[in-house]
């Protein structure tokens, strides 16, 4: 489990370093320097490069995937979604519908125009992880609502890492 976390951190630093270097090249018109060191150190060096370049960055950069949305923004969007129509009533709802509303709220909050697809794709694993964390958070705190991820058929356990939202629902209850 710890190795998976470390690998995920390394990949995240590498991906974001690459994005920062592309941004540097795009705005300065010169090739980015080759960075040395461990992933976190290369990421810090890329941030320093951006700081020194002193160029204006367009705040409406497109959101390419779920990793571009900060977790707190996505949690806020899920909270906003669960407390609004139709999710503010007790019942079972398609997970796909819930995630579509939450990602729409999150991308609007960030001022993005691109919509993330909800389905059997690379976005789903991270979104499902966020839903599980949101489910735990709702269970621990006295928020006035709860939710649980279930199989749409109503039988059997939900896979730890489902491939997509097609056969999943969330059961929502409000106190």
Give residue 98's pLDDT: 92
Q: Measured between alpha carbons, how far is 11 from 147 in angstroms, rounded to an integer?
A: 31
Asked if 135 contacts 148 with a C-beta cutoff of 8 angstroms, the reply is yes
Q: CA angle, 26 as apex, 21 and 30 as ends, to 5°?
A: 80
Cα angle, residue 78 at apex, residues 73 and 81 outer, rounded to 5°: 125
Identify the residue whose tokens are 């960030």: 110
**Whose CA is closest to 68, among 106, 38, 118, 11?**
106
Instruction: Quote the pLDDT of residue 1.
Output: 53
What is the per-residue pLDDT for 159? 83
Instruction: Select from 137, 54, 57, 123 the least CA-distant residue to 95.
Output: 123
d(CA 35, CA 43): 9
List CB contacts of 161: < 8 A, sequence separation 6 or more.
125, 128
Q: Give me the residue spans of the domains in the chain.
A: 2-53, 66-174
pTM above 0.95, yes or no: no
pLDDT of residue 121: 74
First-to-final CA distance of the chain: 36
What's the pLDDT at 168? 92
Confidence at residue 76, expressed as pLDDT on a 0 to 100 scale = 92
pLDDT of the chain, 175 residues: tens digit per residue: 566 666 667 788 888 888 888 888 887 888 888 888 888 888 888 888 887 776 655 555 566 667 778 888 888 999 999 988 888 888 889 999 999 899 888 888 877 777 777 877 777 888 888 899 998 888 887 777 888 999 888 777 888 888 888 889 998 888 7
């Amino acid at each position: 489990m710890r190795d998976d976390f470390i690998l995920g951190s390394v990949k995240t630093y590498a991906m974001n370093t690459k994005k920062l270097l592309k941004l540097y090249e795009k705005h300065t018109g010169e090739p980015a320097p080759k960075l040395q060191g461990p992933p976190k150190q290369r990421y810090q060096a890329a941030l320093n490069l951006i700081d020194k370049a002193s160029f204006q960055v367009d705040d409406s950069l497109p959101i390419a995937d779920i990793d571009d949305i900060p977790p707190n923004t996505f949690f806020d969007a899920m909270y906003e979604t669960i407390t609004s129509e139709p999710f503010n009533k007790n019942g079972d709802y398609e997970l796909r519908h819930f995630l579509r509303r939450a990602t729409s709220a999150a991308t609007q909050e960030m001022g993005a125009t691109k919509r993330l697809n909800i389905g059997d794709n690379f976005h789903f694993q991270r979104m499902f992880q966020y839903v599980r964390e949101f489910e735990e958070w709702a269970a621990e705190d006295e928020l006035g609502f709860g939710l649980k991820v279930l199989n749409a058929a109503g039988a059997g356990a939900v896979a730890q890492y489902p491939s997509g939202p097609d056969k999943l629902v969330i059961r929502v209850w409000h106190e």
